[in-house]
Structure 1
C-alpha cells in the first residue's frame, strides 16, 4: 500500500511540476519556483501558486497561465530543441494546430503532432553554413576587388596628372599658334594694303601678273580684248548682277573696239587694280581680282590659312583634353568606399528583365526602364549613399528621374547585398514611380556578419 502511495506522490509531483513550467523559457523559470504564492510578473497581483496554469487567467499580463490558452495576452514558449525557439500567442495552445515544431503547444489536444525540429534545424544549419561559405568567398573576392580598386584609383590619378600636363603643353602651343596666326593675318593685311596702294610695284610692275589677267579676259586668245569679252568678264563692284552696257565696255577699252596688252597695262589694268568701280567677275573684289594672281599675296594667304588650320587643331585638342580632365575629375570625386572597392562598378551596367520591362542599373550614373516597345524611361540619376552609419555603403539612391504622370519625379533605391557575383537580382515598385532594387556584389560583404554565426539554440 505504501508503495502505491509513493508512486502516486511521485506521479502527482511530476504532473504539477510539468504543469507549472510548461510554456516557460529558461530565462523566466526563476519566476515560477514553487512557493505558497505567485506574484504576477507585472507586479499587479499576488495569487496562490496552485492557480498557476490552472486554465484560468488571474494576472492582467497573462503570466500566471504560460502553458494554457486562458489569458488573451499570454504567450507560450516553444523550446524547439534542435531548431529555433520562439513564442506563440497562448490562444494557439491546444487548438488542434501544431505551431511548435516540438509539438509542445498541443500537449492536451486531439492533434497528432510530430517533432520536426531536428529536420528543420538541419535544413537551417545547411542554409546558414551555405551563407557562411558564400560570405567567405565573397570576402575573398572583395579583397581582390579592393586591391584592384586601389590600383585603378592610382591609375586614374596618374592619368589625370598626365592629362593636366598635356593641357599645360597645349596651352603653351595655343598661345604660340595664336601669336603666329595674328602675325600671318597682319602680314596678309599689309600685303593687301601694299597692293591697293601699288607700294613697291607689287602689281603695277609685275608683268607676269598683268599678262595673266590680260589672258584671263582674252577669251578667244587672239591677243586683244573686245567689247564682248569685257562684258563677259568684267562687272561693276556695287552691282555685280548687271551686265555692262556697250557704252560702259567701250569706255573701259578707252573708246576703242580692241585693246592689246600694252594698252591694257597702261589703262584698264589701273582701273581694275584700283577696284573702286569695276572688278573681274566671280572674285572677291578689287584688288583681289588682280591680287589673287600676285605671288606675294598668295604666300600671305597660304600662311594665314596654314596658321588658322593649325590653331583650330590645337584648340580642338585643348578642348578635348579639358573635357577628359573634367570627366575624370567628376569620376574621382565620387565616394567609392573606404578602400575604393566600388570603383570597378563605374562604367559598368547590369540588366534584369521583369515581365515586359528591362531594367538597367549603371552604378554611379543612372537607372533606366525599357519596355518591349523600345520606350526607355529614366528612373533616376546617381544621387548618394544612404546606408545606415554602421554600413554606410549598403544603399544607393538615384533621383530626379523622368516625371511621373501623377507629378514628381521617379527615383530608385538600390540595396547592396553580399554575394559571390555582381548582378542585379530584383526590381520592385512598392509605390507609384518609386522603385527598389536588390543588387548583389562581393564588395557588399561585411566581416561583421561572421560574428553572428549560427544561432546558439541550433
Structure 2
C-alpha cells in the first residue's frame, strides 16, 4: 500500500511539474510557482492554479496555457538546449509538425521528432566563430586602412597647400607678363605712329633702300632679275669682276616693294617682342588655369565625408565591378553607379548623394541619386549597403522595384567592434 502511494505521488508530481513548466522560459517561471491561485500575467483575471495548462483558455493574454494550443494568442517556448531558444505560436503545439529542434512542442502527438539541437548548434557555433574570425581580421585591416587614410589625408592637404602656393606664384608671374605684354604693345604702337608720321631717320633709310632698288631695276618693271643685278654690280675692292648667279640672287631684298623684309627693321623687332610676350602670357595663363582646376577638384574631394577617421578615403578614385546575367554593374564610391549591357549600352544608376545609415552607424549605407530617367518617370537611384568583410568587393545587385537598385558592398572599413558584443546565447 505504501509503495502504491509513493508511485501515485511521483506520477502526480510529474503531471503537475509538466503542466506548470512546459512551454515556459526561465525568466517567466516565477509567475508559475505552484500556489492556490494564478494571476494572468496581464493582470486581467485570477483563476485557480489547477486551471493552468488544462487545455482551456482562461486568460485573454493566453498566459494560463503556455504549454497547450488552447489560447489563440498563446506562445510556446522552445528551450532547444544546445541551440537557440525561441517562441512559436501555441497553435503549433501538438500539431504533428516538429517546430522545436528539441521536439518539446510535440509532447502529446504521434509525430516522431528527433532532437537536432546539438547539430544545429554546432553548425551555428562554427558559423559564428567564422564570423568572429572575419570580424577580427576585418578590424585589423580596418585599422591599417585608417592609418593609410590619415596619411593620405595629410598628403592631399600638403598637395593642396603646394598647389595654392603654385597658384600664388603663377598669379605674380601672370601680372608681370601682362605688364610686359602691355609695354611691348605700347612700343609697337609708338613705332607704328612714328612710321606713319614720317620719322626723318627712318624716311632717309627707306629712301636709300628704295633708290638702290630703282638703280638695279633696269627695265623698271618693279622686280629684280639675276641679269639686272649682274649687269649693275661690278666693282669689288677696286677690281672688276662679275657676280656669280648665286651671289646675284636676292632674297628678301631690303626695299623691294611687297617683300616682307621690306618692312622697317625696328618695327619687325618690336613686333617680334610683342608676339613673344603674347606667347609667354598665354602659357602662364594656361598653367594658372590648370593649377586652379586641380585646386578646385582637390577641394571638392577633401570636402566629402570619409568617415570619422578618414577610413573610407581609400575608396575615392576606385571602381568595383560585378556581372549579373547580361549586365555589368560598376560602383565608383563617391562618384557614380552605372549599368552596362552586353550590347555596350551604359546607363547611369545614380550619382553620389549622401550617407544614409542608421543613427548608430550612418556609414552603413550610401545613396546614389539622379541617375538617367526611368521610363516610368523619375530617375534611377541606388542604395549601397556596406557589410563587414576581409575584402573590398561588390557582392550583389538587386532591383526590387523598377529603376530602384540595391547593392551589397563588402569592405573591412564597414566592420564595427560592437558586433563582437552579440556573441552566442548563453544556453548554447
- Does the 8 Å contact 1:209/1:293 carry over to 2? no
Distance 1:50 1:192, change over 3 A: same
Distance 1:226 1:353, change over 3 A: closer
- Does the 8 Å contact 1:419/1:442 carry over to 2? yes
Render the CA deviation track for 1:198-234: whole Å, top value 9, x for unaligned: 21332x3225984599599979998878999999999
The Cα shift of 1:5 comes to 2.0
- Does the 8 Å contact 1:81/1:457 carry over to 2? yes
TM-score, normalization by structure 1: 0.83
Partner of 1:97: 97
The Cα shift of 1:436 comes to 1.5
Name the SS for the 1:61 alignment partner. Answer: coil
Runs of 4+ in 1 over 4 A off after TM superposition: 211-248, 280-292
The Cα shift of 1:192 comes to 1.5
- Does the 8 Å contact 2:395/2:410 carry over to 1? yes
Q: 1:123 and 1:382 mapped to 2: Cα distance?
A: 40
Moved more, 312-321 or 297-306: 297-306
Distance 1:283 1:82, change over 3 A: farther
Distance 1:290 1:433, change over 3 A: closer
The Cα shift of 1:127 comes to 0.6
The Cα shift of 1:197 comes to 2.1
- Does the 8 Å contact 1:209/1:294 carry over to 2? no
The Cα shift of 1:444 comes to 0.9
- Does the 8 Å contact 1:177/1:311 carry over to 2? yes
Q: 2:236 and 2:187 mapped to 1: Cα distance?
A: 25
What is the Cα-based RMSD across aligned positions, in Å? 7.6
Render the CA deviation track for 1:37-62: whole Å, top value 9, x for unaligned: 22222222222222211111122111
Name the SS for the 2:424 alignment partner. Answer: coil
Q: 1:75 and 1:159 mapped to 2: Cα distance?
A: 64
The Cα shift of 1:453 comes to 1.8
Distance 1:6 1:381, change over 3 A: same
Number of residue-to-residue matches in the alignment: 426
Q: 1:207 and 1:302 mapped to 2: Cα distance?
A: 20
Render the CA deviation track for 1:247-291: whole Å, top value 9, x for unaligned: 99xxxxxxxxxxxxxxxxxxxxxxxxxxxxxxx999999999778
Q: 1:147 and 1:319 mapped to 2: Cα distance?
A: 34
- Does the 8 Å contact 1:234/1:281 carry over to 2? no
The Cα shift of 1:20 comes to 2.0
Distance 1:224 1:29, change over 3 A: closer
- Does the 8 Å contact 2:163/2:295 carry over to 1? yes
Q: 1:219 and 1:176 mapped to 2: Cα distance?
A: 53
Q: 1:408 and 1:129 mapped to 2: Cα distance?
A: 45
- Does the 8 Å contact 1:291/1:297 carry over to 2? no
Moved more, 308-317 or 184-193: 184-193
The Cα shift of 1:457 comes to 2.4
Q: 1:55 and 1:115 mapped to 2: Cα distance?
A: 25
Distance 1:302 1:2, change over 3 A: same
Render the CA deviation track for 1:75-128: whole Å, top value 9, x for unaligned: 100000010000001111111110000000011111110000011001111111
Render the CA deviation track for 1:122-172: whole Å, top value 9, x for unaligned: 111111111110010001001100111111111101101101111011001
Distance 1:223 1:336, change over 3 A: closer
The Cα shift of 1:64 comes to 1.3
Distance 1:103 1:290, change over 3 A: closer
TM-score, normalization by structure 2: 0.88
Moved more, 371-380 or 288-297: 288-297
Name the SS for the 2:384 alignment partner. Answer: strand
Partner of 2:70: 70
Q: 1:195 and 1:95 mapped to 2: Cα distance?
A: 116
Q: 1:400 and 1:208 mapped to 2: Cα distance?
A: 75
Distance 1:312 1:223, change over 3 A: closer
Q: 1:305 and 1:319 mapped to 2: Cα distance?
A: 21
Distance 1:372 1:37, change over 3 A: same
Moved more, 235-244 or 94-103: 235-244
The Cα shift of 1:293 comes to 2.6
Render the CA deviation track for 1:359-418: whole Å, top value 9, x for unaligned: 111111111111111111111111111222211211111111112122222111111111
Q: 2:292 and 2:285 mapped to 1: Cα distance?
A: 11
Question: After superposition, where does 1:350-361 map in structure 2 within 5 Å?
Answer: 350-361=320-331
Distance 1:138 1:13, change over 3 A: same
- Does the 8 Å contact 2:371/2:379 carry over to 1? yes
Q: 2:168 and 2:271 mapped to 1: Cα distance?
A: 30
Distance 1:4 1:223, change over 3 A: closer
Q: Gaps (5+ residues) in structure 1?
A: 249-279
Render the CA deviation track for 1:273-329: whole Å, top value 9, x for unaligned: xxxxxxx99999999977853211111111111111100000000000000000011
Q: 1:138 and 1:90 mapped to 2: Cα distance?
A: 42
Question: After superposition, where does 1:293-372 map in structure 2 within 5 Å?
Answer: 293-372=263-342
Q: Gaps (5+ residues) in structure 2?
A: none
